[in-house]
Chain A
Amino acid sequence: MMNAAQDTVDFSLYVRPANDGAATMDLAIAGVDCAACLDDIEGSMKACAGVTSARLNLTTHRLRLIWDPQIADAAGLVAALARAGYRAYPFEQSRVEAEEQARTQWLLKCLAVAGFAAMNIMLLSVSVWSGNATDISPETRDFFHWLSALIALPAAAYAGQPFFRSALAGVRTKKLNMDFPISLGILLALSMSVVETALHGTEAYFDSAVMLLLFLLAGRTLDQAMRRRTRAAAGNLAALKGETAHRLSDDGALVAVPVGALHAGDRILVRPGDRVPADGLIISGASELDASLITGETMRAPVSAGSSIYAGAMNFDGALTVEVTAAGEGTLLDDVARLVEKAGEARSRYMRLADRAARVYAPVVHVTAAATLVFWLLAGAGAHHAIIIAISVLIITCPCALALAVPAVQVVASGHLFRAGIYLNAADALERLAEIDTIIFDKTGTLTLPDPNVSNAASLAPDLLAQAARLAQSSRHPLAAAVARSAPQAVPLDGAEEIAGSGVRAMVDGVEMRLGSRAFCEAADETKPSSPDVSLIYLRHGERQARIEIRQSLRPDARATIEALRAKGYDIRILSGDRNEAVAPLAAQLGIASARGGADPAQKIAAIEELRAQGRKVLMVGDGLNDAPALAAAHASLSPITAADLAQAQADAVFLGDGLAPVAQALDIASQSRTLMRQNLGIAVIYNLFAVPLAIAGYVTPLIAAAAMSGSSIIVTVNALRMRGARKEKAVEPVRRTPPVALATRRQS
């Protein structure tokens, strides 16, 4: 982060030309948590010379800048934002996100058309209903019915598209979904109404058909809006994680560029303390890499010219010149990508609750309607009368409540997850999460924090450690960074000097303080570290000295979360790519009996397959590149936000923060929402138990149909909203709004 402010980054890849020679760029902004930020950010941008427009979107936390490239430049504007206290990173909308946006707009248009039609047709229908009860003339009724048809037919043709298309796709792939009975019901209601109108009948169902569309579209639009919001937030996080790489130009100059701008064949410099920005081959230099984000292995591995390295590894001691290779060229990545592809197949066959319900529901309803038709024909009713009753059975059973039952819960639940810092990737993830009975955790970066920390702080003198943290601020070495993390608010020491390969030193109280290697600190200590994955860094201040141990520590709430999960009856296991010696003590600490180390990606999949064969539903929680296939193979999967990109792409949801609590929360919300979904489906069935006999008996008029359908839809929606009330009482959600005091201090800084 400090790094981005010091370098001048070349953002040209993200800058697009706008009107009149101006330039424009979209930025994802971190730390936008209140309305005051709006004025803050837009104000500080407009104060910059050359900026013609700055508009912050508070929903997506993105800023669109338009400026005159003659006067201002992108890097300067990003730096100005950093001075105002906001970290920004250029952002390019992904294809998926653009599609989601287009779909949201489309659904909104359909919703508007259905709303317009429903309002106007209701106006006419209510007149007809009250007229039928009093003295409407047949001519006026016919006129109103034709007028309704004139509105309903084009409106349904437009607004019904989301359902018709999905139903057609379902028929083509021979996978019957809920949209099929919906589409059939709407089409039958409309065609019967047109025929009735032509025959001067007293009853038409135009209002039912259009109202059904309106309710269902409202559900889908909300669902889509929530999904889009989640996707935007996840996109921002990905953008803000986007580090810069140092590209060597042909003339030897070093240019800082966003990682997205790297191409295969580019040469980059990876400095000590940098994360490797892209996969590549080392051309020159030697160093040690911490590849725990990739393989889960916590021991550092030496690399030199000719070694392949992967994005995400942390470079320790030496500067490396690396030639970027295209994704998938490396052997490890190849393997992982191939395994991921194969592993994902099982999950893509998962059938959602609503579709399973539709599969049972549609045949039952259609058979009932056909039986009704036969019954009335045999009972001696005319063909016309029998058909009307049979179709009214189809209309009344048209699964309005059933189709809303699941999405309504989905919207409320994903809203809760969103506020708890859990972003859903897959639409059916909630239902799969609710079925979990076994949880497999990866160790490195999942049970432990992704970055190493000081592990023996308790045995160090607090004042010495505090000074060390201040001194460590001046070094980019990963071990120094770990010391610096022990006191995030520490102010760097003045006049600190870094000696490459040795350490940092500065004068403290007139005596030189050194932080670095054993030789640099002239430490007499000869003892080996207590465990192979512990790294040592030494501190000397005059006569005082200290040995600081650095290792990856458990997430702060890991123990409590694991215990809570176990109390709920989940079977918990560890499956790590790290050595057994590193896994065992941690498993003992957490009280997990089943722990296995040294597993490569294929073995992880095999372990999951074995559990699946036993009939278990496995949740995989992992972050490494090596976990990606396992994440795809498991019944459901979660990743922390610090996970490798490929792992995140495979996970059903990513969670924010240092804690492990979101795992328990996600399972909690998922099982709660499954209960509600089932309740809702139950309500829909009960509704049908009452409505269908009425329809079979021939008592359903358009008025009754309209009342019954909207009534059941509203009950189902209200039931879904109960979850909201229940969770508010618990008040487990973290406070997201920054209190005013903190705001004031940030403005000053």
Chain B
Amino acid sequence: MNILVFLVPVALALGIAALFAFMWSLKAGQYEDSEGAGYRILSDEDLPK
């Protein structure tokens, strides 16, 4: 059962990391335009000309 000493903190740390990533993306406005984001991938303007 010693493995729990590693696995439980690892699981928690991963969860917290994901939570922070979400909070960051929310703050950065990534949920402001859920429709446009899908189309922006298709735009070519980031290609070298």
Which A residues lie at the B interface, using CB under 8 A?
35, 38-39, 56-60, 105, 108-109, 112-113, 116, 119-120, 123, 137, 140, 143, 147, 151
The contact of B8 among A112, A113, A147, by CB within 8 Å, is A147
Interface positions of B from 1 to 22, Cβ below 8 Å from A: 1, 4, 8, 11-12, 15-16, 18-19, 22
Shortest Cβ gap from B44 to chain A (Å): 9
Q: Compute how far the CA of A429 lies from the CA of B26 in the bound complex, rounded to whole angstroms.
A: 30
Q: Are A120 and B43 in contact (CB under 8 A)?
A: no
Q: Compute how far the CA of A535 lies from the CA of B34 in the bound complex, rounded to whole angstroms.
A: 50
Shortest Cβ gap from B42 to chain A (Å): 7
Q: Are B35 and A58 in contact (CB under 8 A)?
A: yes
Q: Are B15 and A39 in contact (CB under 8 A)?
A: no
Shortest Cβ gap from B40 to chain A (Å): 7
The interface centre, meaning the residue of A108, A112, A143 with most chain B CB atoms within 10 A of its CB, is A112
Q: Are B42 and A35 in contact (CB under 8 A)?
A: yes
Q: Are B18 and A116 in contact (CB under 8 A)?
A: yes
A59-B32, A116-B18 are known contacts. Are A38 and B39 too (CB-CB below 8 A)?
yes
**Total contacting residues, chain B, CB less than 8 A:** 23
The contact of B43 among A39, A112, A116, by CB within 8 Å, is A39
The contact of B36 among A38, A105, A147, by CB within 8 Å, is A38
Q: Compute how far the CA of A57 lies from the CA of B33 in the bound complex, rounded to whole angstroms.
A: 6
- Chain B residues with CB below 8 A from A39, complex form: 43, 45
Q: Are B31 and A57 in contact (CB under 8 A)?
A: no
Interface check B47, CB cutoff 8 A: no
Shortest Cβ gap from A680 to chain B (Å): 27
A38-B43, A116-B18, A120-B15 are known contacts. Are A108 and B26 too (CB-CB below 8 A)?
yes
Q: Compute how far the CA of A57 lies from the CA of B23 in the bound complex, rounded to whole angstroms.
A: 21
> What is the interface of chain B mostly: helix, strand, loop, or mixed?
helix
Known: A35-B39, A38-B43, A59-B33. 20 other contacts (CB 8 A): A38-B36, A38-B40, A39-B43, A39-B45, A57-B32, A58-B33, A59-B32, A59-B36, A60-B32, A108-B31, A109-B23, A112-B22, A112-B23, A112-B26, A113-B19, A116-B15, A116-B16, A137-B1, A147-B8, A151-B12
- Chain B residues with CB below 8 A from A147, complex form: 8
- Chain B residues with CB below 8 A from A105, complex form: 26
The contact of A57 among B18, B36, B43, B45, by CB within 8 Å, is B36
- Chain A residues with CB below 8 A from B32, complex form: 57, 59-60
Which B residues lie at the A interface, using CB under 8 A?
1, 4, 8, 11-12, 15-16, 18-19, 22-23, 26, 31-36, 39-40, 42-43, 45
Supply 30 A–B pairs (Cβ within 8 Å), ascending by A.
A35-B42, A38-B36, A39-B43, A39-B45, A56-B36, A57-B32, A57-B33, A57-B36, A58-B35, A58-B36, A59-B32, A59-B33, A59-B34, A59-B35, A105-B26, A108-B26, A108-B31, A109-B23, A109-B26, A112-B22, A112-B23, A112-B26, A116-B16, A116-B18, A116-B19, A120-B11, A120-B12, A137-B1, A140-B1, A147-B8
Shortest Cβ gap from A131 to chain B (Å): 11
Shortest Cβ gap from B14 to chain A (Å): 9
Shortest Cβ gap from B25 to chain A (Å): 10
The contact of A60 among B12, B18, B33, B42, by CB within 8 Å, is B33
Closest to A120 in B: B15
Q: Compute how far the CA of A38 lies from the CA of B34 in the bound complex, rounded to whole angstroms.
A: 14
Shortest Cβ gap from A42 to chain B (Å): 8
- Chain A residues with CB below 8 A from B16, complex form: 116
Q: Compute how far the CA of A137 lies from the CA of B4 in the bound complex, rounded to whole angstroms.
A: 13
Q: Compute how far the CA of A35 lies from the CA of B40 in the bound complex, rounded to whole angstroms.
A: 9
- Chain A residues with CB below 8 A from B1, complex form: 137, 140
Q: Are A119 and B15 in contact (CB under 8 A)?
A: yes
Q: Compute how far the CA of A140 lies from the CA of B4 in the bound complex, rounded to whole angstroms.
A: 9
- Chain A residues with CB below 8 A from B11, complex form: 120, 123
- Chain B residues with CB below 8 A from A60, complex form: 32-33
- Chain B residues with CB below 8 A from A56, complex form: 36
Closest to A43 in B: B45
Closest to A36 in B: B39
Q: Compute how far the CA of A105 lies from the CA of B39 in the bound complex, rounded to whole angstroms.
A: 23
The interface centre, meaning the residue of A108, A116, A143, A151 with most chain B CB atoms within 10 A of its CB, is A116
Q: Compute how far the CA of A202 lies from the CA of B40 in the bound complex, rounded to whole angstroms.
A: 52
- Chain B residues with CB below 8 A from A109, complex form: 23, 26
- Chain A residues with CB below 8 A from B15, complex form: 116, 119-120
Closest to B42 in A: A35
- Chain B residues with CB below 8 A from A140, complex form: 1, 4
- Chain A residues with CB below 8 A from B23, complex form: 109, 112
- Chain A residues with CB below 8 A from B45, complex form: 39
Q: Compute how far the CA of A140 lies from the CA of B5 in the bound complex, rounded to whole angstroms.
A: 11
Closest to A143 in B: B4
Closest to A140 in B: B1
Q: Compute how far the CA of A59 lies from the CA of B36 in the bound complex, rounded to whole angstroms.
A: 7
- Chain A residues with CB below 8 A from B35, complex form: 58-59
Q: Compute how far the CA of A148 lies from the CA of B26 in the bound complex, rounded to whole angstroms.
A: 26
Q: Compute how far the CA of A120 lies from the CA of B18 in the bound complex, rounded to whole angstroms.
A: 12
Shortest Cβ gap from B46 to chain A (Å): 12
Shortest Cβ gap from A620 to chain B (Å): 34
Q: Compute how far the CA of A109 lies from the CA of B16 in the bound complex, rounded to whole angstroms.
A: 13
* 6 interchain residue pairs of minimum CB distance: A58-B36, A35-B39, A57-B33, A58-B35, A116-B19, A59-B35
Shortest Cβ gap from A100 to chain B (Å): 13
Q: Compute how far the CA of A286 lies from the CA of B15 in the bound complex, rounded to whole angstroms.
A: 73
Q: Compute how far the CA of A113 lies from the CA of B23 in the bound complex, rounded to whole angstroms.
A: 9
Q: Compute how far the CA of A17 lies from the CA of B26 in the bound complex, rounded to whole angstroms.
A: 25
The interface centre, meaning the residue of B26, B35, B45 with most chain A CB atoms within 10 A of its CB, is B35
Closest to A38 in B: B39
A116-B16, A119-B15, A120-B15 are known contacts. Are A58 and B39 too (CB-CB below 8 A)?
yes
- Chain B residues with CB below 8 A from A143, complex form: 4
Q: Compute how far the CA of A39 lies from the CA of B46 in the bound complex, rounded to whole angstroms.
A: 12
- Chain A residues with CB below 8 A from B19, complex form: 112-113, 116
- Chain B residues with CB below 8 A from A119, complex form: 15
Q: Compute how far the CA of A184 lies from the CA of B42 in the bound complex, rounded to whole angstroms.
A: 49
Closest to A104 in B: B31
Q: Compute how far the CA of A573 lies from the CA of B43 in the bound complex, rounded to whole angstroms.
A: 53
- Chain A residues with CB below 8 A from B8, complex form: 147
Q: Compute how far the CA of A151 lies from the CA of B32 in the bound complex, rounded to whole angstroms.
A: 29
- Chain B residues with CB below 8 A from A113, complex form: 19
Closest to B43 in A: A39
Shortest Cβ gap from A143 to chain B (Å): 8
Q: Compute how far the CA of A151 lies from the CA of B8 in the bound complex, rounded to whole angstroms.
A: 12
- Chain B residues with CB below 8 A from A116, complex form: 15-16, 18-19
Q: Compute how far the CA of A151 lies from the CA of B11 in the bound complex, rounded to whole angstroms.
A: 12
Shortest Cβ gap from A234 to chain B (Å): 18
Q: Compute how far the CA of A123 lies from the CA of B4 in the bound complex, rounded to whole angstroms.
A: 13
Shortest Cβ gap from A32 to chain B (Å): 10
Shortest Cβ gap from B17 to chain A (Å): 10
Shortest Cβ gap from A366 to chain B (Å): 35
Q: Compute how far the CA of A123 lies from the CA of B39 in the bound complex, rounded to whole angstroms.
A: 37
